[in-house]
């Protein structure tokens, strides 16, 4: 168990809908990262937050947004969902901004 | 942006065979990590290498960091079906600013 908790584990929704994925980092970790992994693909970095502030942005679509709350948990919001958004979404956390990342078990999103 | 390349992209071998996968960059990294990801699960950290030339062993897995800290290798001896998964290398760039992942090597060990 990495100590990073992601909910829900599975999410099935329809095109055009909006969903929120939740991540609780390891105790003491200030950084949270979000990744997307499509079938048989590598990890695509989406966005990083450090202590409540956005620190780095990757290949995140404008339809997607995230935030980190004062208690350090993070949410990834996906809107106007398309079939191609179906993927595994992983959250990772680290102590600082450049430390080893520990991953949650992921949320599997299916857009029908 | 410092990129990490991994080779081979795919590898399918028989149980009992040995294999080596590689992680390369044109840039220097202050440290490199290896992760293994099983289908439907999150990546799990296997090892961190920090010193150029460093070798670390984890049971049948041997990890080496290149002398110039630009590359790393993972050697598996007598592979088993349980070794099947996506092997990802990741590193902190030498400016200490970014943590980047390679695209991964997908290993399949057949019984």
pLDDT per residue as tens digits for the range A24-53:
999 999 999 999 998 767 788 899 999 999
Residue B23 · residue B4 · CB < 8 Å: yes
**Angle ∠(B45,A3,A94) on CA atoms, nearest 5:** 60
pLDDT per residue as tens digits for the range A54-101:
988 888 999 999 999 999 999 999 999 999 999 999 999 998 776 788
Give the model's pLDDT for residue B12. 97
The DSSP bridge partners found for residue B65 are: B72
User: Is A55's Cβ below 8 Å from some Cβ in B?
Assistant: no
Q: Is A71 exposed, middle or buried (0-12, 13-18, 19+ CB in 10 A)?
A: exposed
Nearest to A42 among B97, B99, B101 (CB): B101
pLDDT per residue as tens digits for the range B26-83:
888 888 999 999 988 899 999 999 899 999 999 999 999 999 999 999 999 999 999 9
Query: Chain B closest CA to A103's CA: distance in Å?
Result: 6
Residue B91 · residue B104 · CB < 8 Å: no
Instruction: Give which of A1, A76, A3, A64 is closest to A33, Cα–Cα.
Output: A76
Instruction: Give which of B94, B102, B95 is closest to B29, Cα–Cα.
Output: B94
Instruction: Give which of A72, A108, A77 is closest to A93, Cα–Cα.
Output: A72
């Amino acid at each position: 168990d990495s100590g990073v908790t992601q909910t829900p584990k599975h999410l099935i929704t329809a095109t055009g809908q909006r969903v929120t994925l939740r991540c609780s980092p390891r105790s003491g970790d200030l950084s949270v990262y979000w990744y997307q992994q499509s079938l048989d693909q590598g990890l695509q970095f989406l966005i990083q937050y450090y202590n409540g502030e956005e620190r780095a942005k990757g290949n995140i679509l404008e339809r997607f947004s995230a935030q980190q709350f004062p208690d350090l948990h993070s949410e990834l919001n996906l809107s106007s969902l398309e079939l191609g958004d179906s993927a595994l979404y992983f959250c990772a956390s680290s102590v600082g901004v450049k430390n080893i990342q520990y991953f949650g078990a992921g949320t599997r999103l299916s857009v029908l | 942006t410092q990129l990490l390349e991994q080779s081979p992209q795919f590898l399918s071998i028989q149980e009992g065979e040995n294999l080596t996968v590689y992680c390369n960059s044109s840039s220097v990294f202050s440290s490199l990590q290896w992760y293994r990801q099983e289908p439907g699960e999150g990546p799990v950290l296997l090892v961190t290498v920090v010193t150029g030339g460093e070798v670390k062993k984890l049971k049948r897995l041997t990890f080496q960091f290149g002398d110039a800290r630009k590359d790393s290798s993972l050697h598996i001896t007598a592979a088993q079906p349980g070794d099947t998964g996506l092997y990802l290398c990741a590193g902190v760039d030498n400016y200490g600013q970014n943590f980047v992942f390679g695209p991964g090597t997908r290993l399949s060990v057949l019984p």
